[in-house]
Amino acid sequence: MTTALATRALIGADVSRAKRKRIVDQLAAASILDTFLARRRRTG
């Protein structure tokens, strides 16, 4: 799911296909980590 969201965001930002291929997994991983940290902060 996060890879699909990252891909859509990169397409929306008009990132080339070659560059998307290199960075999509990094962007998805960053999104997962950000969600984890945000939930952790809320629950203490």
pLDDT at 26: 96
Neighbours of 3 (CB within 10 A): 13
Entry pTM: 0.78
pLDDT at 4: 94
Q: What is the pLDDT along the chain (44 residues), one digit of tens a residue?
A: 899 999 999 999 999 999 999 999 999 999 999 999 999 999 87
Look-up of token digits 């560059």: 19
Cα 36 from Cα 22, distance rounded (Å): 23
Residues 28, 2: contact at Cβ < 8 Å? yes
